[in-house]
Amino acid sequence: MASKDAQNQRRGLPSFLPGVPDPDESLPASYSNPGNQAWQLSRPLPRSFLPTVSLPPGLEYLSQLDLIIIHQQVELLGMILGTETSNKYEIKNSLGQRIYFAVEESICFNRTFCSTLRSCTLRITDNSGREVITVNRPLRCNSCWCPCYLQELEIQAPPGTIVGYVAQKWDPFLPKFTIQNANKEDILKIVGPCATCGCFGDVNFEVKTINEKLTIGKISKYWSGFVNDVFTNADNFGIHVPADLDVTVKAAMIGACFLFDFMFFEHSLAGL
């Protein structure tokens, strides 16, 4: 033991108490690290040391997507009568394959008298019919003169488990929103253009870091042509984000698309 302690001291290592193994003895015999080569374990780490990734059930479809397309279905009854009906959306990947289907739940009174400010619930199901995301929208204001009660969405995935929020932030010139986690802590910011009419082109909402210095993606409302924009309320959106973005944040951005549709692009012949 004395000779080993002397060796440790010459190497600049502390002496260890009797009965405690020297860390050098716990290393594999084949361990070597010549030069600047990366060191790798000769045997795998125990499972308890590995990071665990648990995706909410049904959101695994979003894990590798960097483009999410949302297509609002045309409601013929609303187009003919000029009335507001419950919205329905197809959510697709970049290949146009449907991964989810969203249906609005709201009462006729709210759709008629509260119009685009109406409270509602959007239920998002996968192709097997299983509900995987629930988006709750309460009745709130939509005016720069009421900064204390602005728009907000609650995102649940799976239903009953809150994973995030989309909250409107007061700004006198630009539409601004934040993506929040379940504790209502700001994660990302969404900044829209001063004019959101989109009469002859796409409308882009930039997804930025909280300090607004870095843009990591965008939410686009695609222009579908003059006839479609005037005579129908069917809108198409695209969410462009990094593929490795957390799936709960992607779910919140899907909810943000619904909110933007209600706030800026929802119309019918009754409103012309």
- Residue 32 falls within a domain, yes or no? no
> What are the structure tokens assigned to 198, written together?
């989109």
Residue 251 has pLDDT above 70, yes or no: yes
Q: Does 176 have pLDDT greater than 80?
A: yes
Q: Is 153 inside a domain boundary?
A: yes
pLDDT of 154 reads 97
pLDDT at 116 over 50: yes
CB-count burial class (<10 Å; 0-12, 13-18, 19+) for 254: buried
Encode pLDDT of 25-60 as tens digits.
443 443 344 343 333 333 443 433 333 357 899 999
Three-class SS of the chain: CHHHHHHHHHCCCCCCCCCCCCHHHHCCCCCCCCCCCCCCCCCCCCHHHCCCCCCCCCHHHHCCCCEEEEEECCCHHHHHHCCCCCCEEEEECCCCCEEEEEEEECCHHHHHHHHHHCCEEEEEEECCCCEEEEEEECCCCCCCCCCCCCCEEEEECCCCCEEEEEEEECCCCCCEEEEEECCCCEEEEEECCCCCCCCCCCEEEEEECCCCCCEEEEEEEECCCHHHHHHCCCCEEEEECCCCCCHHHHHHHHHHHHHHHHHHHCCCHHHC
* Confidence tier at 107 by pLDDT (50, 70, 90): confident
pLDDT in the model for residue 38:
35
What is the model's pLDDT at position 179? 97
Mean pLDDT within 235-262: 94
CB 138 within 8 Å of CB 165: no
Quickly state the pLDDT bin for 137 (edges 50, 70, 90). very high
Q: In terms of pLDDT, which residue wins out, 158 or 142?
A: 158
- Please write the tens of the pLDDT for every residue from 57-70: 999 999 989 999 99
The answer to whether residue 44 sits within a structural domain is no
Q: Is residue 272 part of a domain?
A: no
Check whether 151 has a pLDDT greater than 80. yes
Domain presence at residue 221: yes
pLDDT reading at 169 higher than 50: yes
Identify the domain containing residue 140 by its residue range.
Answer: 60-265
CATH number of the domain encompassing residue 221: 3.20.90
Q: Tell whether the torsion through CA atoms of 87, 92, 96 and 98 is positive or negative.
A: negative
Does the pLDDT value for residue 104 go beyond 80?
A: yes
The structural domain count of the chain equals: 1
Taking only the tens place, the pLDDT of each residue in 61-100 is: 999 899 999 999 876 665 566 666 788 999 999 999 999 9
Q: What is the pLDDT of residue 264?
A: 87
Give the pLDDT band of residue 10 (cuts 50, 70, 90): very low
Residue 180: burial class (beta carbons within 10 Å; 0-12, 13-18, 19+): buried
Residue 242 lies in a domain: yes
Which residues share a beta bridge with 169? 176
